Structure 1
Amino acid sequence: MRTAVVAQDPPTAGCSGPVPPVPEQVEERRLVFEGFAYTCRIVHRSAPRTEPLLLLGGSSQNRYSWQGHEKWLTPLCTLITVDLPGYGSSDFLPARYGIDFLAEAVAHMVTELGLPQVNLFGGCFGEVVGLRFAQLHPGLVRRIVFAGAAIRLPGIYTDAVPRLTHALERGDIGGAADGLVQLFMSNPGAGQVRRHAAVARLLHQQFMNQTPDEIKKAVEHNTRLVTHGCYRPLPIPAVPSLVFTGEYDTLCTPQMGRELAEAMPAALFTTVKETDHLVTVERREESSDLIGRFFTDASIEGLPYCNAVESLGLSAG
């Protein structure tokens, strides 16, 4: 599942929220795992209120895609984003390397950074990698939040992959861009979605501006995901967990999010009002607030931008 980098566009004017002090240090680390170079970005925070937050975004997002969320998250903790092998500016990764390899690359990074544990956020494809990382390295994870997530590939995605791949391979970037926007964005008749038209335009522009390297990696990503799948029924750590999605998400639907939450030992589930699959873009401040609340053990009940919180994990009730 490819998620857009549109989170880089400037925050909506007039958004309220804490303005953090200048970070003590913003650091980039170039690392190598099994011969593949990759880069992570660390926004350090002294006197944090919670463990470092590792943000794993969608496959078309890069380590800068979450800068628009930093004004709300950096007061809480150190933030870590990463271009894993095969994504962003990191080395090309052939599709024969699957999700386990990417999960081990995450573990390599966490170990190289000397972090005993992280709060783990995974959005869309980031959930696929993040969940496998948590399954393979449960001791490294303190809390989990997944957004726009599923434990099975959406049928509309698997149906679209051959068409999108062929369009990209023959250089029909416009056709691929149109298809990707339709895949990610809900039908306007599904319900009221914040910034729907603006986000759709940004998505289309982003896809039209892809470099040859980005297109090559996008094709390989789709091959990787269809070939290897997105879920293995391994034990999931019984840590505090939250799954949320947009109430009008037509790619990873709310029901798919519920299925994921039900497979986790200690998961809550909710939907964010007036959003679709790109919930973290359409309501950036609110999604940041939800993530920050959960990772600092604050209540998420009764938030005006969320629908009811459901207890769906295996140990719920």
Structure 2
Amino acid sequence: MRTTLAAAQDSPNTQGHGSVPPAPQQVEERRLVFEGFAYTCRIVHQEAPTTAPLVLLGGSSQNRYSWQGHEKWLAPLCTVVTVDLPGYGTSDFLPARYGIDFLAGAIRHMLVECGMPQVNLFGGCFGEVVGLRFAQLHPEFVRRIVFCGAAKRLPAIYTDAVPRLAHALGRGEIEEAADGLVRLFMSNPGAGKVRKHAAVARLLQQQFVNQTPDEIKKAVEHNTRLMTHGCYEPLPVPDVPSLVFTGEYDSLCTPQMGRELAATMPSARFTTVKESDHLVTVERRQESSELIGRFCTDRPIDDLPYCNAVESLGAGAAHATACR
């Protein structure tokens, strides 16, 4: 376990709705073992939180450090937890025979070990897949849910691309595979204006090209895991405040896919963030952080200048409409 002290962060820009004063934060890293597989979580402690701890589950190419840029706006509100689950980041390799239920179990293990009986849960892209299964299997831990770039089915462009990407990686054609991954995650430049599109594309390309052999091995196994086990089970979802959002030009997990997922959740709302695509949390880091933070502290999210209309699409809302 490693513990360090971080300097106080700047308070978030709350678009004229007041600000949260920053407080000193203690950063802790914990090495844990779940059913024989070692993994690591990162905890940014907030001594004066305004809401429950926030667990951030990122995409398959992200690790526990990928969210440090968001801490500037989120850490003043609450304790923030990121994690390299087994099979990802610097944690132990996890064979593909271990599916999404196993990863959900690892999250439960982490929360028990860290003494967090209830959390606000965020899941982006693959993090939504794991987060949703965790919420379905262990609802007692979940106070609020926020999902981004989410879907209840594997996108056709993903299932079509996986064999080509695996073949390229198997031949050692890293640049070709990186090109394919960038095209997969980012919208076509002609689809509409996306903030920092070119810069984020370059960043992704560099990240993919510079993967270590261990990271490539884990990436291949990740794709095998998803293709083998799928991404969704029609299990009950806890009736807690929930939000699903994505970039308005998301071409991987499209806005319609997000709406479909939100419609299966009892109390879900849905919106899209302007001038962004699947990588909205990178392209519009401050805005997406504020949206998450506002929702997790029960502040209004309607009429935010960077969001399109907020829709009520949860299963509960659909039932109420049908009963009118």
Q: CA deviation at 1:22?
A: 5.7
Q: Which has the higher contact order (CA 8 A, sep 6+)?
A: 1
Superposition map of 1:145-224 within 5 A: 145-224=146-225
What is residue 252 of structure 1 aligned with on the other side? 253
Instruction: Report if aligned partners of 1:20, 1:74 keep a CA contact under 8 Å in 2.
Output: no
What is residue 227 of structure 1 aligned with on the other side? 228
| 3-state SS of 1:280 partner | helix
What is residue 30 of structure 1 aligned with on the other side? 31
State whether structure 2 residue 133 is matched by structure 1 residue 132: yes
Q: CA deviation at 1:252?
A: 0.2
Q: Which amino acid aligns with 2:266?
A: P
Instruction: Report if aligned partners of 1:19, 1:71 keep a CA contact under 8 Å in 2.
Output: no
Instruction: Report if aligned partners of 2:108, 2:134 keep a CA contact under 8 Å in 1.
Output: yes
Instruction: Report if aligned partners of 2:23, 2:46 keep a CA contact under 8 Å in 1.
Output: no
Instruction: Report if aligned partners of 1:249, 1:275 keep a CA contact under 8 Å in 2.
Output: yes
Any idea what the Cα deviations from partners look like across 1:44-77, whole Å, max 9, x if unmatched? 0011000000000001110000000011001100
| 3-state SS of 1:25 partner | strand
What is residue 9 of structure 1 aligned with on the other side? none
What is residue 11 of structure 1 aligned with on the other side? none
State whether structure 2 residue 277 is matched by structure 1 residue 276: yes
TM-score (structure 2 length as normaliser)? 0.92
Q: CA deviation at 1:21?
A: 4.0
Distance 2:40 2:88 in 1: 10
Instruction: Report if aligned partners of 2:247, 2:278 keep a CA contact under 8 Å in 1.
Output: yes
TM-score (structure 1 length as normaliser)? 0.94
- What stretches of structure 2 of length at least 5 have no aligned partner? 1-11
Distance 1:259 1:237 in 2: 17
State whether structure 2 residue 268 is matched by structure 1 residue 264: no
Instruction: Report if aligned partners of 1:62, 1:87 keep a CA contact under 8 Å in 2.
Output: yes
Instruction: Report if aligned partners of 1:168, 1:176 keep a CA contact under 8 Å in 2.
Output: yes
| 3-state SS of 1:59 partner | coil
| Runs of 4+ with >6 A deviation | 17-20
Q: Between the two proteins, what is the percent identity of the paired residues? A: 81
What is residue 296 of structure 1 aligned with on the other side? 297
Supply the RMSD in Å over aligned alpha carbons.
Answer: 1.2
What is residue 142 of structure 1 aligned with on the other side? 143
After superposition, the Cα gap between the structure-2 partners of 1:275 and 1:45, relative to the gap in structure 1 and judged at 3 Å, is: same
Any idea what the Cα deviations from partners look like across 1:185-244, whole Å, max 9, x if unmatched? 100111000000000000000000000000000000000000000000110000000000
- What stretches of structure 1 of length at least 5 have no aligned partner? 1-14
What is residue 4 of structure 2 aligned with on the other side? none
Distance 1:97 1:118 in 2: 25
After superposition, the Cα gap between the structure-2 partners of 1:20 and 1:205, relative to the gap in structure 1 and judged at 3 Å, is: farther
Report how many aligned residue pairs link the two structures. Answer: 303
Q: CA deviation at 1:170?
A: 1.1
State whether structure 2 residue 42 is matched by structure 1 residue 41: yes
